[in-house]
Amino acid sequence: MSDTTKKAPLARRALFPLLLGLLLLTILYSVTIGRYDLQVRDVALILWDNISPSQAPSWTKLEETVVELVRLPRVLAAVLIGFGLAVSGGALQGLFRNPLVDPGIIGVTAGAGFGGTLAILLGIHGYMLLAIAFCFGIGSVVLVKFLASVRGRTSILTLVLAGVVISAFFSAAISIAKLLADPFQKLPAITYWLMGSIASTHYGDVLLLAIAVIPATILIFLLRFQINILSLGEEKARALGTPVVLVQWLILIATAMISAGIVAISGIIGWVGLVMPHVARAFVGADHSRMLPVAGIIGAIYLLLVDNLARTVTTAEIPLGIITALIGVPVFAIILRRMHSKGGWSND
């Protein structure tokens, strides 16, 4: 776009490269954290070595292994999870015309959670567990959409209600599964998996996450202008000429892909998808073409910091879902009060 089309202030135009730089620094810093002490400079050199190999490396083989095989996959997973949750939360808030929505609302989180629980209960591990969790997540969204559709049209209210119903159903199913589980081995496994952790992530997981998150976020970003229009309401969107049902389906499927993939790898991590879009809107306004990328990057930085906290605060790792809730709830309460004092969520 030429300069005449957008007179965005310098601060706003500089924000995106600034955030990208910050993300890169946070990634490098996050790799240094752990029992084996490393400096940001060492990490940068070790990683740069992959692009342009050095003749006389200044680091040990052990350091290289720690950086590239132990810590980097986990860090990349955190980036993908934070990015995916924030983008899908932002897209759903637009679709639902409601800034208080997160990916949990369409039933995908509880559905995928039940899929994973069922797999653990049946003694299934590894990629089969991921596949089952993923399929249940996608399946529950399709179920929600069909439940909410009357004569080919879906009202947002019925979509929310169907999401609540399906989520409640799968939550109950998770409880039953826990009740049936062997309390010494399977119950702890289910509980820890649901609470969310990326402690033992390897490159295979990162690849699966990337497959679930990247194409879907690209699809959401391509639909950025349509999301703006849908956020006015279905009737108005239809009158303006948007293919409402098609866009609703595409966004639901894309966000379900992201959420189901994330739950499958890392368990249920709440509050990121709800809070990050608000932070992004405060910086760049509501237009989804600016808000979604910024929300994604802020989400990635945020989840990296949360994961750093998770593995440093105590000797035992704290599940990510607990920390995101502990931070997310007060932040959300502040946002809610601010919106309320300004006379509704329209002026956030």
Partner 1 sequence: MIEVRDLHVRRGDKTIIDGCSFAVHSSGVLVILGANGVGKTTLLNTMIGVLKPYRGHMEIGGKIGFVPQLFEVAFSYSVMDIALMGRVRHIGLFGSPGTRDFAVVRRFLALLGIEYLENRVFNELSGGQRQMVMIAQALSSECDILILDEPCAALDYRNQKVVIDVLRSLSRDHGITIVFTTHVPQHAVEIASHVLLMNSAVSYLSGTAETVLSESNLSALYKVPIGRAQFAGSGKFTYAPLFHHEEVRHEP
Using CB under 8 A, pick the residue from 71, 74, 224, 311 that binds partner 1: 224
Q: Is the dihedral of CA 287, 24, 83, 271 positive or negative?
A: negative
Q: Are 115 and 141 in contact, with CB atoms under 8 Å apart? A: no
Helix (H, G, I), strand (E, B) or coil at 59: coil
Considering beta carbons, is residue 243 or 330 the nearer one to partner 1? 243
- Give yes or no for residue 214 binding partner 1 (CB under 8 A): no
Give how far Cα 277 sits from Cα of 16, 93, 101, 274, 298, Å.
15, 8, 10, 7, 9
Count of CB atoms within 10 A of residue 211's CB?
Answer: 12
* Whole-angstrom distance, CA of residue 345 vs CA of residue 337: 10
Min separation Cβ 236 and partner 1, Å: 5
Residue identified by tokens 């390897």 is 202
- Decide: is 150 part of the binding site for partner 1 (CB under 8 A): no
Instruction: Give the footprint of partner 1 on residues 279-298 (CB under 8 A).
Output: 281, 285-287, 289
Q: Which of 13, 125, 236, 337 binds partner 1 (CB under 8 A)?
A: 236
73-102 footprint of partner 1 as x/- string (CB under 8 A): ---------------------x--xxx---
Exposure b/e, 295-314, CB count within 10 A at least 16 = b = bbbbbbbbbbbbbbbbbeee
Q: Six-digit token pair at 199?
A: 């402690």
Shortest Å, Cβ 93 to partner 1: 8
The least CB distance from residue 333 to partner 1, in Å, is: 20
User: Of residues 239, 313, 326, 334, which one binds partner 1 by CB under 8 A?
Assistant: 239
Least distance (Å) between residue 171 CB and partner 1? 27
> Is residue 182 involved in binding partner 1 (CB under 8 A)?
no
Picking from 173, 155, 163, 147, the residue whose alpha carbon sits closest to that of residue 101 is: 163
**Range in contact with partner 1 (rule: CB under 8 A) among 16-24, 34-42, 67-75, 226-234:** 226-234
Asked if 246 interacts with partner 1 (CB under 8 A), we say yes
CB 269 within 8 A of CB 320: yes
Return the range that interacts with partner 1 (CB under 8 A); candidates 3-11, 73-81, 105-113, 260-268.
3-11
Q: How many CB atoms lie within 10 A of CB 13?
A: 11
Nearer of residues 202 and 236 to partner 1, judged by Cβ: 236
Of the candidates 181, 173, 161, the one whose C-alpha atom is nearest the C-alpha of residue 110 is 173
- 347 near partner 1 (CB under 8 A): yes
| 228 near partner 1, judged by CB under 8 A | yes
* Contact status, residue 217 vs residue 83, Cβ threshold 8 Å: yes
Range in contact with partner 1 (rule: CB under 8 A) among 179-187, 194-202, 235-243, 315-323: 235-243
Q: Which is nearer to partner 1, 74 or 281 (CB)?
A: 281
* Chain residues in the site for partner 1 (CB under 8 A): 1-2, 4-7, 94, 97-99, 222-226, 228-229, 231-233, 235-236, 238-243, 246-247, 281, 285-287, 289, 344-348
